[in-house]
Structure 1
Amino acid sequence: MSTTQLARYNTRAEYPAKVLIRGTPEYERCRQNNPSADTPSRFPQEIHVVKTPADVSGALKKATELGVHVGVRSSGHIFNLPNLIEGGILIDTTNLNRQIEYDPISGEICFGPACRVEELAAKLKDINRFFPHGHAPTVGSGGFLLAGGQGWFVRGWGATNQTWINKIEMVVPDGRTVIASRTENRDLFWAARGSGLGFFGVVTRFWGRTIKSSLMWERILKFEINSDSYMALMSWAIERGRDTPKYGTDLNLTIDYPEKYDPSYTTDTIPLNGKLHMTLNLLCYTDTIREARTLLGAYDKLTPEVQAALLEMHPVQRRTVEQVFSRKRRFLGNDKQDRWQINSIMNDPDVPLERLLEVIKPAMLELPTRTSSVFMCHCDIVPDEEDAALSLPQDLYISTITGWTDPKLEPAIYQPMRDRYKRAFPVAVGMYVTELDVNCDDANTKVMSDTALAKFLEIREKWDPNELFPNYKKFIMAHEKINRLQNKAQL
């Protein structure tokens, strides 16, 4: 791993040329321009900082001539950085259609793949419209939407690319720029929505529908959680979420050490006698506080065991997107000092809750560093495999973010959480595609159904027969591994 510390992450980075050659300072600055300081030691031959579809076509043509693979970056928030392909070409889309246009007649917004969540939010505020972008302010639209899009208030409105994206412009491997929608190049539209890092083209623009904006409200509850109270607290929190109306609610749970945010702590070491806190950030989207209180009312009744662990309870109050962004910036940081790994599963809805909680308990409570966190949310995404590659049910998204600052902790720091999530395979239906690790297969599991994967591979072979885009192979490896384990368990 590289330990070189460069300038902080720059979402509007500028470079002196459209093609950056390995061995130059500008190349290295671009190669490491991702939110984590933990950049793998993989070096593309060239980085193409594209501005137009024609530039993308030129980069794909160059890769074909060289006989090398291609990686694509919209923001670099996939922390194992699958876009860095040794000896290949990295297409950096930071300047590609980096503007947001709104059509008041159709109610559609149009934007490029590197448009950040905070940029979309600012535009939507100006035009008084709503579109379910991501929650983390500096995430790029390309990676977010290709993965599916666990956007704002996903529970009732579905993944963003399921119900909000109308069409996609992309450059395909032979260099052509095409439009994909439910009526045009339908196979590409199907494959793009849910395949994430395995997709075999370069998105240049999205078109998404919007609705009139409303108001956001939040209720916060904070508890002390430990091994003894874990089962009662987690069961109560999840069951209250299942009692909460799906439409217009956004239910999030975090577990971390409060010292994570204390600037007086400067090491990765867990504080002596440190106590974990579980926080529920419960949001809803509706016009009045009376409606908001009703929507979040399932959390009113605390059992005696839950009440005993309660530290804080904040009533329903108005919240802005900017306030949530501020909290998200604290959650991950962006100063290029922090290093991150994310492991995740999506639970199998048929597995009883008690069994699920037993299996994931080590991943929830045995955090390896002071800055590590658990994040869980109710997604309630019901897939339609006929419509998109997004084909696994997403009841709960469950993840642990391992954070550290000292590179001397590597490589040992990666393995503990990989092992804990590997233990969770029997209670998981799969994982969110953005967390598939191209560096190590240990914690990788399925990213779509087996039948969806078979269909995806057929479409990929049609459009990318020369395999310019190689990351799909990690899907195959993960699926074959899980099927072997499942077959062995049935013997």
Structure 2
Amino acid sequence: MAAAPTPYTTRPQYSSSVLVRGTPEYERCRRNNPSSATPERYPREIHLPKTPQDVAAALRKATELGVHVGIRSSGHIFGLGALVHDGIMIDTSFLNRDIAYDTDTQEIAFGPAVRVEEVAGKLAEINRFFPHGHAPTVAAGGFLLAGGQGWFVRGWGATAQSWITKMEIVVPSGEVVTASRTENKDLFWAARGSGLGFFGVVTRFWGRTIPRSTLWERNFTFEVGNKYEALMTWALTKGDETPKYGTDLNLTIYYPEKYDPNCSGDDIPNPATLHMSLSLLCYADTKPQAKILLSAYDDMPAEIKDALIEMKPVTKTSFQRIFQTKRGFIGLGGDKRWSILSMLSEPSVPMPKLLSYIKPAMLELPTRTSVVFICTCDIVPDEVDSAVTIPQQYYISTITQWTDPKLEPQIYQPMRDRYRRALPVSAGVYVADYDVTCDDANGKVMSDTALARFLKIREKWDPKGIFPNYKKFIETHNKINQGLHKAKI
């Protein structure tokens, strides 16, 4: 009999710091994920450290047992690679779960399980800005190790590239080290962009901040109908014409029924009517400045005007209001089940070819509560600086949501097939979305030369290989390089 749905909580409570398989608290912890589709993988033990020394003890235990280690900060990587079967999972929910601000350095410091909404709350309190993530319950660990597609990424770069100054890391030997651009530089390079392939446990991050400004938003909603190519071309082209600094451009495609509380979500209406919404945000001191930053979208061609449902002018908003909207697009536990497929577009691909290849993934949504999300990132990789080495022009993703477990496992495969067919126009995959359970649609997580460098650094710090996910990266790179999905542009 399937276990009852477990409400997801970002601040769980347990009676012990080590949970052993077969106990009720172990199972509650194992299932404390934003998706209730928890795979049948069972770590031997779950450790809940509060300090770096507790982490070191867990790593020593894994070495003694000769087992692998998985790290969970929040579980928004829906494949849940942290659930290492017969290994040790380190759940960081209690690890340095605080946020500090240094008035002299103007830096914030926080632990790996601190959530986006917690960081935003602290920043509002101190009147500062740091480009945290967009989804409120995502934790710092997964977000920053993936590089971090934070607020205003287009001009300010991935958060880990431009804003993180230092990390405290427990390495496989159990040693607690500091990594920065001046200390353990190889470790600092590898941590920023390797995501779930990283070979250590980050116990604290330090990041610089700047003075706070005002968040503004402009919205458009269209009925897609037969205007997919025209709408997408206009939306993405106007994004390219929008100033990079201080702007945040997001596109969603969804069924309007998604917002109906009575919608079960497990079936698709016939005929399906998809909507496309643009959420165009900017950070500016005044409304006139905001209007200028978002003015590229003033020019709307006649061919899409009749598809327009609603247009909202530039209006003052807040991160908290955006978080409320995002809660409808991400996992929150309960009976909801989620998966995500994504790709990073190859910048040299002509727009018509890109739109053609991704069209099935954009329009053939598996359920009424599934959604497409596209963000204009414009991240330029710097292989010398960090492992963030895949260009990120457009981040393109499809989030599948359902409630009935009977739809599994078949529900996963259609979207995998659609993203696999889109690999010829992909530069790679955002490492936070890399699927360690199925390589069908995975792209490269870093360049070939960066992966070679990463593997050498990994061998130095983790010679016994207790962190196993790097092996999956090698398999994917070999698949792509052997021409199985090689781009022909």
- For normalisation by structure 1, the TM-score amounts to 0.98
Aligned-residue offset at 1:333: 4.8
Q: Give the match for residue 31 of structure 2.
A: 32
Partner amino acid, structure 1, of 2:444: K
Matched residue, 1:255:
253
Q: What is the distance in 2 between the residues matched to 1:206 and 1:259?
A: 40
Match of 2:370 in 1: 372
Equivalent position SS for 1:275: coil
- Percent of matched pairs sharing the same residue: 65
Matched, 1:103 2:102: yes
Change (3 A) 1:483 1:333: closer
Aligned match of 2:411: 413
- Report the 3-state secondary structure (helix = DSSP H, G, I; strand = E; otherwise coil) of the residue aligned with 1:412: coil
Q: How far off is 1:489 after superposition?
A: 7.5
Give the whole-Å Cα distance in 2 for the aligned partners of 1:300 and 1:192. 41
Q: Structure 1, residues 323-360: CA drift from partner, whole Å, max 9, x if none?
A: 00000112225142111110011010011011000000
Deviations 1:281-335 (A, max 9, x none): 0000000000000000000111011111100000000001110000011222514
| Letter matched to residue 212 of structure 2 | S
- Listed as ranges, the matches of 1:345-424 within 5 Å are 345-424=343-422
Q: Deviations over 1:71-109 (max 9, x none)?
A: 001111100001000000000110000000000110000
- The one-letter amino acid of 2:141's match is G
Contact (CA 8 Å) 1:244, 1:295: kept in 2 or not? yes
In the alignment, the residues of structure 1 paired with residue 93 and residue 387 of structure 2 have an alpha-carbon distance, to the nearest angstrom, of 26
Note if contact 1:6-1:29 (Cα within 8 Å) is conserved in structure 2: no
* Contact 2:424–2:487 (CA under 8 A) maintained in structure 1: no
Separation in 2 of the partners of 1:16 and 1:63? Answer: 22
Structure 1 residues 91-240: aligned runs within 5 Å: 91-226=90-225, 228-240=226-238
In structure 2, give the amino acid aligned to 1:188: L
Which of 441, 444, 452 is the matching residue for 2:442? 444
The answer for the alignment partner of 1:245 in structure 2 is 243
**Residue in structure 2 matched with residue 264 of structure 1 by the alignment:** 262
Letter in 1 for 2:233: S
Q: Residues 335 and 71 of structure 1: is their aligned pair in 2 closer, same or farther, counting only changes over 3 Å? A: closer
Deviations along 1:359-411, whole A, 9 cap, x unmatched? 00000000010111000010000010000011011000000011111000001
* CA deviation map 1:116-159 (0-9, x unaligned): 00000000000000000001000000000000000001000000
Contact 2:267 2:367 in 1 (8 A): yes
- Distance change in 2, residues 1:324/1:354 (3 Å): same
Question: Which deviates more, 432-441 or 280-289?
Answer: 432-441
d(CA) in 2 for partners of 1:419 and 1:364?
13
In structure 1, what is the equivalent of residue 56 of structure 2?
57
Match of 2:325 in 1: 327
Q: Match of 1:91, as an amino acid?
A: I
Residue aligning to 1:462: 460
Q: Quickly say closer, same or farther: Cα 1:172–1:357, change in 2 above 3 A.
A: same
Name the CA shift for 1:69/1:378 in 2 (closer, same or farther; >3 Å): same
Task: Report if the CA contact (8 A) 2:21-2:42 is conserved.
Answer: yes
**Structural RMSD (CA):** 1.1
Structure 1, residues 158-182: CA drift from partner, whole Å, max 9, x if none? 0000000000001000000000000
Gaps of 5+ in 2: none
Amino acid at match of 2:48: V
Q: Distance in 2 between matches of 1:144 and 1:489?
A: 28
- C-alpha separation between the residues in 2 aligned to 1:405 and 1:84? 22
**1:488 CA displacement:** 7.3
Partner of 2:315, secondary structure, is: strand
Q: Which string of whole-angstrom CA distances, capped at 9 and with x for unpartnered residues, describes residues 438-467 of structure 1?
A: 111101110000000000000000000000
Residues 5 and 37, structure 1, Cα contact 8 Å, conserved in 2: no
Whether the 8 Å CA contact 2:389–2:447 is kept in 1: the answer is yes
Question: Retained in 2: the 8 A contact 1:356–1:427?
Answer: yes
